[in-house]
Copies of this chain bind each other. A is one copy, B any other.
Amino acid sequence: MAGTVEKPLAPSYQEVPGGITAPRGFRAAGLHIGVKRFRKDLALVVSDVRAAAAATFTTNRVQAAPVRVTREHIQGGYLRAIVCNSGNANACNGPQGVHDARRMAELTAAALGAAPGEIAVASTGVIGVPLPMDKIAAGIEQAVHLLSREGGDDAAHAIMTTDTFPKQVAIEFELKGKTVRIGAMAKGSGMIHPNMATMLAFIATDAAIEPAALQSVMRRSVERTYNRISVDGDTSTNDMAVIMANGMAGHEPLSLGDPELETFAAALDYVNGVLARAIARDGEGATKLIEIRVVGAPTEADAVQIGRSISRSNLVKTAIYGEDANWGRILCAAGYSGADFDPERVDVYIGDLLVCQDGTGLAFDEQRAKEILKQSDVAVTVDLKAGSAEATVWTCDLTYDYIKINGSYRT
């Protein structure tokens, strides 16, 4: 029933080094160009050949300029490169912002000998400050010269904002008789919530997949991974997840309806799941990864709705920070989720410890609860006993450092 955190969403895969440059035919660079004061702030990921591409974007009504531009470019179904700056979100900058985002694509395309529509553009950072385009232009020029097969790690660093560690993973698996790789990097930290919150994820694979099939598996995978994490419930203006599949593994391309598409989809879920959990673990100020599993639900949608409500509760998140087995707050957050369930049937587990049965508190072993809550990974299971559907969402605890980080970010 309850228990371990980070149960993989799919069978385990062979992890390999190299991050986003692990698959064949991808090169990357990450460098400091002066948007941020000291740290790396420009990442470039390039496929040697044109790659099928797909993307998902923030659902916020306020969409940053790079989101608008990349949304247009992805319509073509193919990309050559992704260019991303950190330190400045290029959001709420009016027509100038869109102009600057287009210019980023044009400069990158020119330097690579590609078309502007083959470039995805992303930005993350402060809202409402125009991009320093002179620095961006010089930086793109420089980045192209730094591109290498070992550049994945630099690129993963360059997209960070308040992230405390880079997030990357790469795996190798068999597909249509060939060895294929998926490599990926992401950034998260604040403003993380379902439906793509200041969250960027870039995925590269040498698998061969038609754009429509890629869009289909990507959308479903994002729904199950990045859209099931929450740091503070805020959904940003800049989120996107972009995947490029360049086909250099050399197998027959996967299209919609191909049974092997599920093999790829499972591998993609694994990669996105690892990054999603890393983002939740690295939520601003977080000390713990919290996994909330809602089981025994009538439908998966109910389970997700209840899980998200619990994952957004400041009271639950502070209680877990305080290592307090306050199941009442968990049940309460389930109660205001809007999902229909019978509170008098609900069981709540902290780790594998049953603390509330049929909606009523148990005299549980407080010492054991303390031990479970002391861990850096805490699992909470809510069993509705009303069906067989389930869902897992991830969040982090809410701490003094969240306040510290966010009380003085802009200035």
Contact = CB atoms under 8 A, between A and B. Distances in A.
Interface stretch (A111-119, A141-149, A340-348): A340-348
A403 interface: yes
B410 A234 contact: no
Given A62-B334, A336-B59, A402-B318, A324 B407 contact: yes
A343 B62 contact: yes
B234 A403 contact: no
Interface stretch (A88-96, A210-218, A256-264): A88-96
A140 interface: no
Given A127-B328, A321-B403, A407-B322, A314 B91 contact: no
A398 B234 CA distance: 14
B331 A127 contact: yes
The main secondary structure of chain A at its interface with chain B is loop
A359 interface: yes
A403 B411 contact: no
Contact of A91 (B91, B128, B328): B328
Given A190-B315, A315-B232, A360-B93, A407 B127 contact: no
Interface in A213-251: 232-237
A13 interface: no
B329 A234 contact: yes
Interface string A27-38: 000000000000
A377 B344 CA distance: 42
A398 B59 CA distance: 25
How many copies are assembled? 2
A268 B80 CA distance: 64
A61 B384 CA distance: 13
A61 B335 CA distance: 4
A333 interface: yes
Contacts of A234: 313-315, 329, 332-333, 336
A133 to B, nearest CB: 17
Interface in A365-411: 398-400, 402-404, 406-411
B410 A60 contact: no
Nearest to A366: B411
A300 interface: no
A317 to B, nearest CB: 9
